[in-house]
Amino acid sequence: MSQVTGQAFNYSLLKRVLVYIRPYRTVFIWAMVLTVLLALISLVRPILIGYTLDNYIFKNDYSGLVNMTFVMLFSLVLQTFLQYTQLMLTNKLGQSAVRDLRINVFKHITKLKLRYFDRTPIGQLITRTVSDMETISDIFSEGLIAIIGDLLMVVVIFSWMMYKDWELSLVILLPIPFLILATSIFQRAIKVAFQQVRTEVSNLNTYLQEHITGISIIQYFARESQEYRKFKKINARYRDANI
């Protein structure tokens, strides 16, 4: 059974994983360019709405309001297109990098000594080559670039707020220490929860592999009902770990 070890964030391990991005750095660069553009565009609509309120709605300028409506619609369509393109690029990046990583993991497994397979459940190996790979794929496609994009968006929005009213902006920063503390607590808790899910899916894969392989023996000794009850318990633990 896997144990919870190490820190919640392991920078050296992240660096080893990021090596698989190098063959696809062009895709990564374009994804980052779109991330920066989306962070800048996030300011456009609030500014347009404020400008529309001050110059058209409050002054009953309906022709100007119609024009600004089309401008806002255009900005929304542009933002949607950029988000779609960025999503396609990040998914391509994640799936391509994980494909290479999965191939290397499989090559490594085929070179291991036989005694390793004697003491390691097959389900655990399946978890490492399938479930864990999907988690790493999420880091590339939804985690890393999304975090960078969110940070850029926060910087852009806060810079604009400081430009408009720096005193009020500083007041908004007061809850930040509490948010950092809450994030730290959540980070440790989520690692334990994720490790539990990983352990239970490994147990589930191991049970399925062993019993499907040995189904003839189970049927020969008429143990279908007993094995069914065991499977229900393992499946329930996996469900509870995810909840």
Q: Write out pLDDT tens, residues 134-190.
A: 777 777 766 677 778 788 888 888 888 888 888 888 888 888 888 888 888 887 888
Q: Do 156 and 232 share a domain, yes or no?
A: no
The answer on pLDDT for 81 being more than 90 is yes
CATH code for the domain of 14: 1.20.1560.10
Domains of the chain: total? 2
pLDDT of 10 strictly over 80: no
**Same structural domain, 213 and 196:** yes
pTM above 0.75, yes or no: no
pLDDT band at residue 1 using 50, 70 and 90 as cut-offs: very low
- pLDDT band for 26, please (50, 70, 90 cuts): very high
**Tens-digit pLDDT profile for residues 107-141:** 888 888 888 887 877 777 877 777 777 777 777 76
Range of the domain at 219: 175-243
Domain endpoint, select from 173, 205, 221: 173
Residue range 36-52: mean pLDDT, rounded: 84
pLDDT at 7: 55
* Side chain identity, residue 189: A
Instruction: State the Cα–Cα distance between residues 203 and 197, nearest whole angstrom.
Output: 10
Domain boundary among 124, 154, 173: 173
**Given phi > 0 = left and psi -120 to 50 = alpha, else beta, which region is 131?**
alpha
